[in-house]
Amino acid sequence: MAAPVRRTLLGLAGGWRRFESLWAGSLGSRSLSLAAAPSSSGSPWRLLGALCLQRPPRVSKPLTPLQKEMAALLQQIEIEKSLYSDHELRALDESQRLARKKTDLYDEEDDQNILLVQDLEDMWEQTFLQFKPGSRVTADNKNDRTSLHRKLDRNLVLLVREQLGDEYVWMLPQAEWQPGETLRGTAQRAMATLSENNMEAKFLGNAPCGHYKFKFPQAMRTESNLGAKVFFFKALLLTGDFSQAGKKGQHVWVSKEELGDYLKPKYLAQVRKFLLDL
Amino acid sequence: MRAEPLRKKKKVDPKKDQAAKDRLKKRIRKLEKASQELIPIEDFITPVKFLDKTRQRPQVELSFEERERRALLLKRWSLYKQREHEIERDAIGVMLDAQQEALEELRLESPELHTEAIKRDPSLFPFEREGPDYTPPISNYQPPEGRYNDITKIYTQVQFKR
């Protein structure tokens, strides 16, 4: 029989009681309204498609001291091995001419270039100082984790807070699988319902990048409802932002280290596997 | 009565004409082959002004400490890059394992969803995205006005049809 084999495989997910009880409570209440059928082959697992929406970094990471030293050394070597540029040749000529003027004190032709190299460099310096680039470190952090403009050099993942039973739990946005669609379609539906079509994302392939499975507590288990499996799909955020003005405190953009503040241990362990820490 | 026998011109003439035409075609083909000019790769041709000797920098004599510092820095750098590569390789391995596990679970769950998950996604490529810059883009930026003249040389290769 397949069931005992499955039990040994799933012994990993067995120990987390509270989360499962909340899950089962919510799914139990929802199952009456949705009437979602279990998977077609008659297995007792519910299927859920979850979305791992990532905002790619906008700014490069700051260099470590070793990298800075190496960059300086490479620049030095490049200058040593190069030829003189036009600008440098002109500077050398003019310095020679000035030296001759001082020593010999005879009048050369007065209609030389009035514009010396030094003046050019000063002009360039002025225009450079006038330009104000955007700041790399967004100073208006204020620990506002719901904004997209924090931590511009890291990957940010979207977390949502959903109510299961009588407790709020943080998790990646997910939706229940409905027969007739692929799991990636489920993830896309989850994104559409979240953002109300404000966000554009590029899904990276048809295959899931990770999974999480758990069993319901004994009270909730029936013949056809042993537990649930969540499959995660990766997507990169292209444009748009999460505009749910109505619900505050329900979503958060978080980098990999801060995931531990929100997610439960076993869920976190599975999610960390497929997130690349830059 | 004493006329020369009439020469029969019918058999040989078409062949001669054919031979003449073939020779002409061969000559045309040879001319075509000879006149094919290759488009010059401008990166491989050093401009003449850079062969001037006055442009060369004087040779820098590095002190012993400087050379030591450079050698040690290069060694540290190679070690750092090796470790970085190993970390990256292990992380990618973990990600691939997680994906394989997920696909296994899906296969146990329902084979149809598994076959659909394995399919290639034709809309994935070509995928273009701008990489991270040093500073983020400024909102309401006014670029300086002006025109520019594009002086790139465009070469065309004349192709003769055979």
- The minimum CA-CA distance between B42 and chain A, rounded to whole Å, is 19
End-to-end CA distance of chain A: 44
Taking Cα atoms as reference points, which of A55, A52, A50, A53 lies closest to residue A187? Answer: A50
Which of A59, A87, A270 best tests the B interface by mutation, with the highest count of B CBs <10 A?
A: A59
**Cβ-count burial A92-126 (b if 16+ within 10 Å, e if not):** eeeeeeeeeeeeeeeeeeeeeeeebbeeeeeeeee
The rounded distance, in Å, linking the Cα atoms of B116 and B107 is: 10
How far apart CA A89 and CA A84 sit, in angstroms, is: 6
Residue for token digits 């104000």? A132
- From residue A219, alpha-carbon distances to A29, A45, A114, B64 in Å are 14, 16, 92, 78
Going from the C-alpha of B123 to that of each of A151, A192, A198, A240, B127, the distances in angstroms are 30, 19, 21, 20, 9
pTM over 0.80: no
Structure tokens at A21: 């009880």
Instruction: Return the sign of the alpha-carbon dihedral for residues A172, A176, A177, A182.
Output: negative
Query: From CA A154, how far away is CA A255, in angstroms rounded?
Result: 7
Mutation site, B90, B99, B103, interface A, largest A CB count within 10 A? B99
Phi, psi of A156 (to 5 degrees): -110, 140
Chain A residues whose beta carbon lies within 8 Å of the beta carbon of residue B50: 83
- Tell me how close the Cα of B122 comes to any Cα of chain A, in angstroms: 9
pLDDT digits over B44-90, tens only?
888 888 888 777 888 888 999 999 999 999 999 999 999 999 999 99
Contact A47, A178 (CB under 8 A): no
Give the confidence band of A44 by pLDDT, cuts at 50, 70, 90: confident
- Smallest Cα distance from B95 to chain A, Å: 5
Give me the residues paired with residue B155 across strands: none
Query: How close is the nearest chain B Cα to the Cα of A137, in Å?
Result: 9
Least confident of A96-110, A187-201, A239-253: A239-253
Decide if A233 touches B, using CB distance below 8 A: no
Nearest residue in chain B measured CA to CA from A69: B73
Which chain B residue has the Cα nearest residue A276?
A: B91
- What three-state secondary structure class fits B151? coil
Burial class (CB in 10 A: 0-12, 13-18, 19+), A47: buried
For residue A20, pLDDT beyond 50: no
Q: What is the mean pLDDT of chain B?
A: 86
Q: How far apart are CA B60 and CA B46, in angstroms?
A: 24
If you measure CA to CA, which chain A residue comes closest to B75?
A70
Chain position carrying tokens 């850079």 = B50
**Model ipTM?**
0.73
Using a CB-CB cut-off of 8 Å, the residues of chain A touching B124 are 202-205
The torsion angles phi and psi of A101, rounded to 5 degrees, stand at -60, -45
Report pLDDT digits (tens) over A104-138: 766 665 556 677 888 899 999 999 999 888 888 77
Of A73, A134, A277, Cβ closest to residue B135: A134
Q: How many residues comprise chain A? A: 278
Query: Is residue A69 predicted with pLDDT exceeding 90?
Result: yes
Q: Residue A83 is nearest to which of B50, B109, B118, comparing CB atoms?
A: B50
CATH code of the domain occupying A45-60+145-274: 3.90.79.10
Tracing tokens 């012993």 back to the chain, one arrives at B64
Query: Where do runs of H (alpha helix) occur along chain B?
Result: 12-34, 64-109, 111-118
Q: How far is CA A65 from CA A152, A192, B70, B133, in A?
A: 20, 44, 15, 20
3-state secondary structure A57-125: CCECCCCCHHHHHHHHHHHHHHHHHCECCHHHHHHHHHHHHHHHHHHHCCCCCCCCCCCCHHHHHHHHH
